[in-house]
Chain A
């Protein structure tokens, strides 16, 4: 016979104001197998917990129900409390009478009735609870960081400094990401490259960090503490062990294609080091435009290379390595505004550029050596229009979210133009100006004092008339049409997640939202964790953010990784699926629906009548299973049970409610 204790929390007045807790306790005393029921002001407090522990002894309880807030809040608290008692921590059920009852109702009588039902269901369920024990699995003390932007670099450096091996996988030929493309950073006007390239060099030279550039994650298997990751290394056609990065090859290469690093302003050769401060500072060949690789002509780079480092026969290589933790730092891209906004010329005017293109224009190491000139004719622009929220905060054409960094970088661009071009005019079309950051509002104030003219409204059309770009828009504060004749237009385009994020997320078994941003495990309390154990996130793969937030998040993700890798082995949750293999038909639909790839079909010896046969049945990997229950819901035979939420327990709850 079970001896159940029921503890009903007032939660101050959170519950007690709407639910008659004493009436709930009185009702609970009448439920079958309830040996004791009481109420308390704050059950989670130290005296509250002490009272529960005492009651367990006094009334010889063997399982308890706590009627309080959501189990997401304090289930773990109460489990920890039970560790010091004779009761197994999993002989506990939480009846959520706060979020699901007191907070959503006003009628006290009806809310009390509902709270009694909640408790009744929990009592029915706890009666079928079984003691569960955690097991441990060993941990591989190495981390993988996917993405070598500032987020990935910072996370890798922090983890490596703590003494763990880290691998950075970067799809481009150099780490650095977007930050190294920027000219100055707001609001302090630090040189972006000056503060990010030392970190890149540190990452490249750190004894605990392995850089894998031109690489992508091909396959991820395993589970927290024990991931097996296959990394695809694209052919570089240059032996980086021999190459010294002298750069002779790229000066002789006859091919010229638009430079990705300079955002299409300026060119690069087919064999190239992406930018002067690249890490590793060694070239790769772009096989899509190299004359030797596309047409079997030229071959100059091979001839001029003093170290014979060029290898045209290089191939894609795959390596598989083990990691204990993975950090996703895949960053962002800018939306393709040309497709979204044909009214802004749809890309046919060379002088309508993005903010990132402007960063390259104004950068001393950029294609114009820092001179702000029009890409079309190289003339210095006098009148510049900046259009904000291009693709962001636009549910009709673009994304509904705010891209967060654009207000500030647009102010910075205005400041730079007014500073560098005497007598220039800058007009900024905006919806709102959002400056929530340290020193941000002051920077905005200074930009306006510099002479930037803010016009509240969207630009409806940009077209060319002679030498000028005519921007038509509305000043919504004055309620009238505005026309600005501009020499150059800068579009503050929205950030969106990296193009292949769905692919990466699928390989890792993590979820993405409708805008494809990676979903964190809890928006407030677990912001750098994902739903999959051992996979963490940082930077703009989770949502638009600026550099300080990105770096802070990278540090936070690194701290989580360190906390995980610091242990030799880890406890796994016992609330996972189990298969009754005697009933299993081996149809494999559970394998298909499992988001964590935790179920596989295995062959087991069995009997069919008096014959010995080999049966195919489902098998759960306890390290991978996250206890989501998709498999249990899919199984028609009902032979999959989620421990702690067994089919029997759910049916008992339903029965209790329907009685």
Chain B
């Protein structure tokens, strides 16, 4: 029988306490309540008492994994409450060599979706990587409509597409929230934050906004784990996932079935060199 929401919450608290009790873990990253009943916030439980403040309900939406990057050189382990999407985010950052597996204690939780539209498309309700698992694994669904939106959009003429994106990016305010939330955006110093390099203009004008949008899409294109955090956090409501999904669709068309954040050793398709690469152009 599947565990109830409350059972899971209690189990999370229990596992969090156990993790802290080992003395190897500095804090447990999860969620806690706010003054709004339908908003939970990320929470770092550092003591046994604080573990009782950890919660699990359908409003626990924020990704937990990326907070591990706040301390890139930790003296102790981080424990992370990880759903399927969080575990893929962890795999992403492990593959990108930004986290060390031995610095993580992963408390996996089987998740049947939150109050977040992207959860309806979720293909990984079960965590892929974990040290301890809470809940019984459930069968995964294949999202047949993964690229439906992109396919429909592709039918528009180039002018219509440009008009659409120009309008969307005219709204961008360069807050970089999409980048901050994204587990694939894990550079020590983002290109967009550098000054006097000529990469990214700081002005909020049509050209610079579009340069940012395109560059971001290409930087995460073959590494996107489809958690949808970029689009969720955008204060201006830009359909950012549509861009990354287009990249992923093209990669699927060109390189075969492709999903990121899996626990295998495959390199991102655009970030590798193999002897089998044809080089007729040389």
B197 interfacial contact with A, CB 8 Å: yes
A648 interfacial contact with B, CB 8 Å: yes
Which chain A residues in 570-603 approach chain B with CB under 8 Å?
A: 583-589, 592-595, 601
Q: Which residues in B have their C-beta under 8 angstroms from that of A630? A: 273
Residue interface bits B28-58, CB-to-A below 8 A is 1, else 0: 0000000000000000000000000000000
A583 in contact with B282 given A608-B72, A613-B73, A648-B198 (CB within 8 Å): no
Check A593–B73 contact: CB distance below 8 A.
Answer: no
B199's partner among A511, A512, A613, A647 (CB-CB below 8 A) is: A647
Check A587–B96 contact: CB distance below 8 A.
Answer: yes
Docked Cα-Cα span, A630 to B199, in Å, equals 18
Check A513–B199 contact: CB distance below 8 A.
Answer: no
A-B contact pairs, 6 of them (CB 8 A): A587-B96, A593-B271, A611-B73, A616-B97, A637-B187, A648-B197
A595's partner among B97, B190, B199, B273 (CB-CB below 8 A) is: B273
Check A647–B273 contact: CB distance below 8 A.
Answer: no
Closest to A636 in B: B219
Check A585–B273 contact: CB distance below 8 A.
Answer: no
Smallest CB–CB gap between B25 and chain A, Å?
Answer: 19
Smallest CB–CB gap between B77 and chain A, Å?
Answer: 16
Closest to A654 in B: B198
A583 in contact with B189 given A589-B271, A592-B271, A593-B272 (CB within 8 Å): yes
A484 interfacial contact with B, CB 8 Å: no
Check B73–A505 contact: CB distance below 8 A.
Answer: no
Q: Which residues in B have their C-beta under 8 angstroms from that of A588? A: 97
Smallest CB–CB gap between A657 and chain B, Å?
Answer: 14
Docked Cα-Cα span, A513 to B198, in Å, equals 37
Check A514–B278 contact: CB distance below 8 A.
Answer: yes
Which chain B residues in 242-282 approach chain A with CB under 8 Å?
A: 267-268, 271-273, 275-276, 278-280, 282
What are the 10 tightest A-B residue pairs by CB atom distance, in nearest-first order?
Answer: A506-B275, A651-B198, A613-B73, A589-B271, A585-B188, A637-B187, A585-B187, A593-B273, A587-B96, A583-B189
B129 interfacial contact with A, CB 8 Å: no
Given contacts A639-B189, A648-B198, 5 further A-B contacts (CB under 8 A): A512-B279, A585-B186, A592-B267, A592-B272, A637-B189
Q: Which residues in B have their C-beta under 8 angstroms from that of A502? A: 275-276
A638 interfacial contact with B, CB 8 Å: yes
Smallest CB–CB gap between A399 and chain B, Å?
Answer: 15
A608 in contact with B191 given A587-B97, A588-B97 (CB within 8 Å): no
Check A511–B189 contact: CB distance below 8 A.
Answer: no
Check A647–B198 contact: CB distance below 8 A.
Answer: yes
B194 interfacial contact with A, CB 8 Å: yes
Closest to A650 in B: B198
Docked Cα-Cα span, A328 to B272, in Å, equals 26
B98 interfacial contact with A, CB 8 Å: yes
Closest to B191 in A: A638
Docked Cα-Cα span, A532 to B279, in Å, equals 15
Interface residues of A (CB under 8 A from B): 502-503, 505-506, 511-514, 519, 531, 583-589, 592-595, 601, 608, 611, 613-614, 616, 630, 634, 636-639, 647-648, 651-652, 655
Check A652–B273 contact: CB distance below 8 A.
Answer: no
Docked Cα-Cα span, A594 to B274, in Å, equals 10
Check B267–A647 contact: CB distance below 8 A.
Answer: no
Smallest CB–CB gap between B72 and chain A, Å?
Answer: 7
Docked Cα-Cα span, A601 to B272, in Å, equals 16
Check A637–B191 contact: CB distance below 8 A.
Answer: yes
Smallest CB–CB gap between A624 and chain B, Å?
Answer: 15
Q: Which residues in B have their C-beta under 8 angstroms from that of A514? A: 278, 280
Closest to B194 in A: A638
Q: Which residues in A have their C-beta under 8 angstroms from that of B72? A: 608
Q: Which residues in A have their C-beta under 8 angstroms from that of B73? A: 608, 611, 613-614
Which of A505, A613, A637 gathers most chain B CB within 10 Å? A637
Docked Cα-Cα span, A651 to B194, in Å, equals 14
Docked Cα-Cα span, A595 to B268, in Å, equals 17
A594's partner among B267, B273, B275 (CB-CB below 8 A) is: B273
Which chain B residues in 144-196 approach chain A with CB under 8 Å?
A: 186-191, 194
Closest to A595 in B: B273
Smallest CB–CB gap between B224 and chain A, Å?
Answer: 13
Q: Which residues in A have their C-beta under 8 angstroms from that of B219? A: 636
Check B273–A583 contact: CB distance below 8 A.
Answer: no
Check B273–A638 contact: CB distance below 8 A.
Answer: no
Q: Which residues in A have their C-beta under 8 angstroms from that of B273? A: 592-595, 630
Q: Which residues in B have their C-beta under 8 angstroms from that of A503? A: 275
Check B97–A638 contact: CB distance below 8 A.
Answer: no
Docked Cα-Cα span, A354 to B162, in Å, equals 61
Smallest CB–CB gap between A466 and chain B, Å?
Answer: 48
Closest to A587 in B: B96
Q: Which residues in B have their C-beta under 8 angstroms from that of A613? A: 73
Check A647–B197 contact: CB distance below 8 A.
Answer: yes
Q: Which residues in A have their C-beta under 8 angstroms from that of B97? A: 585-588, 601, 616
Q: Which residues in A have their C-beta under 8 angstroms from that of B98? A: 585-587
Smallest CB–CB gap between B101 and chain A, Å?
Answer: 15
